[in-house]
Amino acid sequence: MRRRQITIKHPIHTSADQLSTMNSMLSSTQQRTICSQLGRVKLQLLYKASIHGFTGAAFHERCDTRSPTVSVGYNNSGYVFGGYTKQPFTKSGNYVHDDQAFLFTFSGEKLLKYPVTGPAYAVYMDPNSGPYFGGALVLVNGNQAVVYSSPGNYYNFNAAEMHGNNLNLTECEVYQVEGKPWRTIIWESEKRKELIESIKTYKPIVNSVPQVRVLLIGPVGAGKSSFFNSINSVFRGHVTSQAIAGSSTTSLTTQFRTYSMKAGREGKPLPIILCDTMGLEESTGAGLDIDDIISILKGHLPDRYQFNPSAPLHSEAHGYHKSPGIKDKVHCVAYVIDLDAIRRKINLMGIPQLILFTKVDEACPLVKEDMRNVYKSSYIKEMMQEVSARLGVPLSCVIPVKNYSEELELDLNCDILLLSAVIQMLRFADNYFDEISDRFSNIDTKE
């Protein structure tokens, strides 16, 4: 039989006195007008030149690595003008691409917008100046309270319309664009306790199933084993490592493992089993075979089955479950990458699927700074939408998490994300049991 192989194509601290004077010069109406161009967002003031200094160094100290941003200049002729970029500022001395950048000015309460015409040169990262938009508009030019203006260099605008040809700045402000949460989540210790209790008291609706079985599938280094270790850590009350996890380029997991967890060291088993698998690898003849995955889904593989990259499991192998019950089958699948061949087969089997979107802190500086920004980050949302579209699953099936990898102590916000992912697994498993119950009315379900 020909074997089918899967391939995987600082923060700067401001004093209390400074904070008391860090008032925005933009009116609430002007802020709303700008935000209306950017979606469900709000503006957070980062830099105010009259406080921090009209210098490139002061600007970069306050604003580097922050994104997206809105930069605003003011002159004594009453003009309010500036630019937007989704790219984080740096002192690299290079141009950066941004096809969403634009310049703007206010005409009364109306916003006049000038989209970038040369996206490859949208923003220049000048270490000695403030916000530098493509050689067309520079606020705080050359460490002075002045504007450099040159229409036509990657942005087309009328200079008189933009700033009245008054190039002297009375103020310059830079705002970080913060997305308003697009998913509601409560970041409190009471919520953590509530999630833990919900998981501990969960019972599958099928009498013959004592624990929900969730299969974790993903490429090497995706964080499957780390996810189990992280969930186990939450319920143990401290960071622990039971499953082998690391950063090797080849899978450290070579056996099929079923991990049951307890509510504390001496507590009762939790109603969920996480099934860990060998990682999916690029090279032919390595990694997990699709036939092994189907055998896992159907409940044929025994715990500690040793994967053989050169041949899938066969029905005569030692420990093979020839007649698995519902309790032995997989009730939910969690994976994080475009696995079209697997996804199609799982769809046919009616098994709910969700995507664990791991390492969100590494993907976005805003989230690295504060995990509570995960549902405010436009970048994280864009990545989740892309994964959703590529895999053909609803966005509600994509769950961001942060595994414990280098930490020594638990973190409330990480715990809440991890526990929320487990809650979704249990809900998806309920969908599976409901589907089974509808198909086979003779299944013994609980009242």
Give the CA radius of gyration of the chain.
27
138 within 8 A of 147, measured Cβ to Cβ: yes
H or E element at residue 123: strand 123-124
What is the model's pLDDT at position 183?
A: 87
H or E element at residue 272: strand 269-276
Three-state SS at 258: strand
Three-state SS at 353: strand
Per the listing, tokens 């009375």 go with 170
Strand positions, DSSP E, 140-242 = 147-149, 171-179, 212-217
Q: What is the pLDDT of residues 285-317, one digit of tens each?
A: 445 667 777 877 887 777 766 766 555 666 666
Give, in words, the CATH class of 189-439. Answer: alpha beta
Kindly list the domain boundaries of the chain, sorted by start residue: 16-179, 189-439
Give the up-direction half-sphere exposure of residue 351: CA atoms within 13 A in the CB hemisphere: 27
Per the listing, tokens 């008391």 go with 20
Length of the chain: 447
Three-state SS at 50: helix
Q: What is the pLDDT of residues 353-397, one digit of tens each?
A: 888 888 888 877 778 878 988 888 777 888 888 888 877 888 998
Q: What is the DSSP string of 368-408?
A: HH-GGGTTT-HHHHHHHHHHHHHHT--GGGEEE----SS-S
What is the model's pLDDT at position 76?
A: 95
Instruction: Indicate whether this model's pTM tops 0.75.
Output: no
Cα angle, residue 405 at apex, residues 422 and 331 outer, rounded to 5°: 25
Q: How far is CA 176 from CA 38, 89, 320, in A?
A: 12, 11, 57
Residue ranges of the chain with per-residue pLDDT less than 70: 1-21, 220-222, 242-255, 278-289, 304-305, 307-319, 336-350, 438-447
